[in-house]
Structure formats: structure tokens, C-alpha cells
């Protein structure tokens, strides 16, 4: 096996999706339009991303996002035929070395805590577990969201996605969000929406989210990506925003599923979501590689 590496810029989107599909195996299908969306919202840098070739056949990919000197491993896969031979470790080492040459100072990634194989591999390449993310899930029925969550004097209205900017700035004391919930991502999701809540004291809260209708095995769902709360605002405001977002998207809240991905475990929102009655559906590790 003679392996060479080339920038992902040399493959078209359909070719990348085909390689992505083949490398994962197991029936999952990567779609060019979905990949294009992800590349945009996660700032995937195709020049920095690498494809591994066995002769002329692409057999592995490492897709890297870039924001200034920071980088993020969006995805990483090796074709079944080439696994277990050290190629994954070498591709990760090569892409990190090339990123460092291009001025990157750190690479981050998230990995499901039960993926022992991937965690070992990332560890071999020098990544360290720096914190844990929580994934929350519950239906409106489990959260008992209902009309009474909207006191008559509160006003909840849709607003421009850019409304999230001052709320994001005000949340500076909170742990940094995961890569795809940072401001550049929040402002580029094609289907992002924002609701703002005004109570008797004025602007009290904002919810940035995507409402995704049922598809395949996924139910109708609201995916909150950022929550802003004025000091003193809390559970009631959050309940009201969740209820309004579900009702606006699907006409009712009870059978809507709320999913929050990659919430840092020590954030105020993580505590609030637990107080709201949401259960932790999974945990993931935030792993980082610091360049020498």
C-alpha cells in the first residue's frame, strides 16, 4: 500500500460525498448539498483538509474547519479495506502537521464518549480530553409545556437571526460553546430562527434555534443552538420560548422533540435544562490538540 495525501480541494462535492459515504460504510449516505451546508456553517477549509489515496483511489478523508489560528476536525474516516493498519493515525498526524505549517495553533473535535476506538486514535495523535459536552433531549409532553407558559403580558415574537449578536456578546462569562454553536455558525445556518421574549421589564430572553420537520426516524424537532437570558430571567422564560418555538413551527408543543447538542457540562444553560426536566441523552468529549 503506497499512500499519498492531497488537499480536498481537488475533489468535487459529489466525489467528496461519495468518499465520505464509502469510508463510513454501513448504509449511511453523505449528500453533497448537506456537505455544502456544513462546510459553510462550520468554515470547513478544503485546502487544509486532506484526502488519503492508495494509488489513485481515495481511501480516507480528514475535513478541517478553520477560524483564524483555530481549527476543528469536522469529520474523519478511513475506508473499511484500509482500517487497522495505522492509516487513520498517520492521516491525522499528517493533517495536523500541515495545519501547523499553515499557522494553526490548535485543533479541536468532539467524539461520543463511548467511541473508545476513536478516542484511543485521537489520543495517539496527541489530542487530550479537555471537557465534556452533554446532549439533552425531551418532548414537549415530558416537559409539560402548555399555554400557561405564556403569561398574557409576555410578548414572544420572531426576530432577525442577527438579533443573537448582542446576546452572544453578553454571555461572555459562560464556557465557550462548541465550534458549530459559535457565532459564525449561528449566523450562517440556512434554517436558523430567533424568537425574543419581552416581559414587563423589557427584553428578557432570546432563543436561536432550528425547527426541523420529521424525516426518516427523526420526529418534528426544535434544536436550540443559543439561549440568551437577561439577569434574573430563567426557567419560566425558557419554557415560554420553547413552547412558542414549537407552536410556531408545528402548531403544538406536546409531540415536538427538543434536542440540544454539545452543551458544555458546566454552563448555566446545562443546569437550567436539567431544572427544566430534560434528560441527558448522551455525552461527548471535547478533545484538543495544541501545536508545539
Which residues are at the interface with ligand COA (CB under 6 A)? Answer: 23-24, 76-78, 83-89, 111, 115, 117-118, 120-121
**Which lies closer to ligand COA via its Cβ, residue 34 or residue 85?**
85
Residue nearest to ligand COA (CB): 88
Q: Is 10 in contact with 53 (CB distance < 8 Å)?
A: no
Burial class of residue 83 in the structure, from the number of CB atoms within 10 Å of its CB (0-12 exposed, 13-18 middle, 19+ buried): middle
Q: Is 79 in contact with 22 (CB distance < 8 Å)?
A: yes
Helix and strand numbers, DSSP H then E, in the chain? 8, 12
**Which lies closer to ligand COA via its Cβ, residue 78 or residue 196?**
78
CB of 73 to ligand COA, least distance (A): 9
**Which lies closer to ligand COA via its Cβ, residue 48 or residue 87?**
87
CB-CB neighbours of 109 under 10 Å: 23
**Which lies closer to ligand COA via its Cβ, residue 84 or residue 173?**
84
- For 26-182, where are the alpha helices, taking DSSP H only? 32-41, 87-101, 116-124, 164-170
**Which lies closer to ligand COA via its Cβ, residue 24 or residue 53?**
24
Q: Which residues of 126-140 are buried (b: 16+ CB within 10 A; e: fewer)?
A: bbeeebebbbbbbbb
CB of 72 to ligand COA, least distance (A): 13
Rama region for 286: left / alpha / beta (φ>0; ψ in -120 to 50; rest): beta
CB of 238 to ligand COA, least distance (A): 31
CB of 60 to ligand COA, least distance (A): 7
CB of 86 to ligand COA, least distance (A): 3
CB of 71 to ligand COA, least distance (A): 16
**Which lies closer to ligand COA via its Cβ, residue 61 or residue 156?**
61
The answer for residues whose C-beta is within 8 angstroms of residue 147's C-beta and 6 or more apart is: 243
Amino acid at each position: 500500500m503506497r499512500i499519498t495525501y492531497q488537499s480536498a480541494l481537488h475533489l468535487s462535492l459529489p466525489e467528496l460525498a461519495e468518499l465520505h459515504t464509502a469510508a463510513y460504510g454501513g448504509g449511511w449516505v453523505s449528500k453533497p448539498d448537506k456537505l455544502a451546508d456544513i462546510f459553510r456553517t462550520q468554515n470547513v477549509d478544503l485546502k487544509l483538509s486532506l484526502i488519503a489515496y492508495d494509488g489513485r483511489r481515495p481511501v480516507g478523508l480528514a475535513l478541517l474547519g478553520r477560524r483564524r489560528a483555530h481549527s476543528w476536525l469536522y469529520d474523519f474516516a478511513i475506508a473499511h479495506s484500509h482500517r487497522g493498519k495505522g492509516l487513520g493515525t498517520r492521516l491525522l498526524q499528517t493533517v495536523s502537521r500541515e495545519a501547523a505549517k499553515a499557522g494553526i495553533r490548535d485543533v479541536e473535535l468532539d467524539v461520543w464518549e463511548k467511541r473508545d476506538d476513536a478516542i484511543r486514535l485521537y489520543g495517539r495523535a496527541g489530542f487530550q480530553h479537555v471537557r465534556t459536552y452533554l446532549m439533552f433531549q425531551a418532548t414537549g409532553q415530558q416537559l409539560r409545556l402548555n399555554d400557561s407558559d405564556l403569561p398574557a403580558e409576555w410578548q414572544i415574537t420572531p426576530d432577525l437571526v442577527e438579533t443573537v449578536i448582542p446576546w452572544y456578546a453578553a454571555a461572555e462569562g459562560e464556557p465557550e460553546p462548541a465550534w458549530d454553536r459559535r457565532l459564525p455558525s449561528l449566523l450562517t445556518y440556512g434554517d436558523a430562527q430567533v424568537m425574543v421574549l419581552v416581559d414587563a421589564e423589557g427584553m428578557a430572553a432570546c432563543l436561536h434555534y432550528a425547527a426541523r420537520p420529521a424525516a426518516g426516524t427523526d420526529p418534528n424537532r426544535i434544536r436550540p443552538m443559543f439561549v440568551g437570558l437577561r439577569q434574573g430571567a430563567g426557567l419560566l422564560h425558557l419554557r415560554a420560548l420553547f413552547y412558542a418555538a414549537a407552536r410556531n413551527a408545528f402548531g403544538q408543543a406536546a409531540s415536538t422533540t427538543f434536542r440540544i447538542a454539545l452543551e458544555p457540562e458546566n454552563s448555566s444553560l446545562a443546569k437550567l435544562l436539567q431544572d427544566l426536566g430534560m434528560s441527558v441523552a448522551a455525552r461527548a468529549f471535547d478533545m484538543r490538540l495544541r501545536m508545539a
